[in-house]
Chains A and B, each alone.
Chain A
Amino acid sequence: MSALGDVGHLLLTANLWQAVLAAAVLLLLPALGGVISERSGVVNIAMEGMMLTGAFFAVVADLAWHNAWLATAVGIIAGGLIASIHAVVSIQFRADQIVSGIAINIFAAGLTVFLVNRIYGLQDIGHIGPTEGLPYIDIRGLDQIPFFGKVLFQQNVVVYAALILLVGIHVLLFRTRLGLRIRAVGEHPQAADTAGINVYLIRYSAVISSGLLSGLAGAFLAIGVSNTFVPNMTDGRGYIALAAMIFGKWTPFGAFIACLIFGLGQAIYDNNSTIHISPYLLSMLPYILTLVVLAGLVGRSTPPAHDGLPYVPGSE
């Protein structure tokens, strides 16, 4: 009972919710990428690898140029580049998108550590520390609001960017012509093609966008949160983002709510000194919750109709 009491006390602190939002954003960015990619009909289980790639190249750039903004840009582009492999393989070559996604994740895990060795001469464990981190910005005035000021307006710059992206992507998908096209391509590519929509172009852009967003999350992780690169530092976050996307029923705000729930688990984990539950048991929660959702206990979660199916022009 004391453990529950401790958690209850922890839930009332602004510090916790500040951490929840930051942890949620780390999951939200790749989850948004997943939403865009899968809405266009390309299954994406490769956010983990794209994030890791972004994290690594952001650190490399940061060490080279000592500029966090430049480093973030490099991380984003690196994420986009590795996503374009997934795009070419699964759209152009019509490969199985799950195999391609697994390959991306293995490729990223191997390549980053291989490059740590090639570039810095370190064997395997490449604990590299960048010099410049992404800044935390307090929004003048608003940060003085009790409780909410600390939670919402004393955050890393990436958190603000992610919240803007969340709204932007929601509007894009559900309130614009382009969004309608993306969803049409994911639901019924033949009909979309007939209506004059370039299916391949939409799918390429969507998959590469998912890489850009995951790359940003990776950069945030490496030079905003942890200020280091260690092998496999994403530690399953790309897969939790995948879970959040499904949990949120392939919608941006649904995914965001899932990320907040999962982020809460992460924040409690990080504040474990005050509670007495095994952090490892807490870490299972996102995955168990997602299984529960998939089991249909909390309403069905149905993917876009043509998610995972390569488009062959002229097919019925």
Chain B
Amino acid sequence: MPLGSVVFAFVVGALICLVTGANPIDAYSGLLCGGFGIACAQGENPALQVSNTVVFLIPLITTGVAVALPFRAGLFNIGAEGQLLAGAIACTAIGVQFKDLPAVILLPMVLLGGMAAGAVWAGIAGVLKATVGAHEVVTTIMLNYIAQWLLRYLIIGGPLQLGAGTSTSKPIGQGARLATLLPADNSLIIFGLPASVFRVHTGLLIALVAVAAFAFLLWRTSFGYEIRTVGQSQKAARYAGVSVSRTIIITMLIAGAFSGLAGAIQISGVDHNLTDKYFTDTTGFDAIAVALLGLGSAVGIVLAALLFGALHAGGAIMQSDAGISSNLVLVLQALILFSIAANFVGAIRKGLPFGRKSADLPPELPPAAGLMSEAAAPPPEPT
């Protein structure tokens, strides 16, 4: 089903291109080149394209986990973006404040600080859900915007601003920076380019550890079992002696920590300071598509993150090579979401004469289905 959704999106995307007079083959070969370094028309360096995709992939994995984990508890975290920003802000604040500390102390400080900030940000939504039943979708939307405006305040006229008239923060100290995977050495030539242009950084390893930790937590720990029980039925969970409110709050705290980590890694590994680029960052929303497309499993999340990382990296090449706006990528992403949510693929298969009969198919619910069944329920009783 996930693959079908992607195919559906690309077919509709091609139709949109055709209707608006763009050549879909040019568009998609641009995406393929920018995403995976395949079929490059203008002699782009394939290794560099792959490196760019991986740089996009890293925060998508961790924020994807931040959406997928609460899904399992029946919670819809659409606040990954705000939590990411909180993490990026905390990472920057610590990295600037203690810029002279050695990496062995400062690096853990900025990463853990980012995780803590993200956890607090999501925890607000968790506490509101667990205590008064405020819907987490609405509270996380509000928290997204609060984080966004806080960021603007901090780097435009606020305490983190680099200097008057700028919309960037001071840079974090050397000790707060994640190393690149390849040595940052201009004399070293790898794949025909100086090694320093490859921005792939050690955050990749952290992200892979994070997604493994997610799978372990969910399937190999008693708390993971509690999360899944609460997601299946709050009533049953309560009957089994699981504290629903405690599970909700801790799940949100962990999810926020994953998003906060994504923000910290972006600052620590890529940007080294907060910029106005973060005003329009959409990683936390892409994460929703990553979690849904990856069916909430660890391997699925990595694969889906790879797809969206490639789309993002590919969009830039499509725009420069084929002259087609990189915003086509957003259109494709929305189409994938529509398709997963509505299960168009299942509907198409049912409608086709050679398709399997609907009775043969297991009920193909979207991964988010059933989330809303608890939405109108009264707040969980404190246990």
Which residue numbers of A lie inside 8 Å of B, CB to CB? Answer: 43, 45, 85, 89-90, 93-100, 102-104, 106-107, 109-119, 123-124, 232, 236, 239, 242-243, 246, 278, 280-281, 283-284, 287-288, 290-291, 294-296, 300, 303, 305-309
Contact = CB atoms under 8 A, between A and B. Distances in A.
Interface string B359-383: 0000000101101110110000000
Contacts of B282: 106
Interface of B: 16, 20-22, 76, 78, 124, 128, 132, 134-135, 137-139, 141-143, 145-146, 148-150, 152-153, 156-158, 280, 282, 285, 288, 292, 319, 323-331, 333-335, 337-338, 340-344, 347, 366, 368-369, 371-373, 375-376
B340 A99 contact: yes
A116 B20 CA distance: 11
Nearest to A278: B153
Contacts of A110: 327-331, 333-334
B280 A89 contact: no
A102 B150 contact: no
B153 A98 contact: no
A96 B368 contact: yes
- Main DSSP-derived SS at the A contact region: helix
Contacts, number: 176
Going nearest first, the 3 A-B pairs with the smallest beta carbon separation are A110-B330, A107-B334, A93-B342
Given A242-B138, A242-B141, A114 B327 contact: yes
Nearest to B368: A96
A107 B149 CA distance: 24
Contacts of A287: 142-143, 145-146, 149
A308 B282 CA distance: 25
Contacts of A98: 76, 78, 137, 368, 371-372
A290 B142 contact: yes
B374 to A, nearest CB: 10
B143 A305 contact: no
Nearest to A240: B145
A258 to B, nearest CB: 13
A123 to B, nearest CB: 7
Contact of A295 (B128, B135, B335, B366): B128
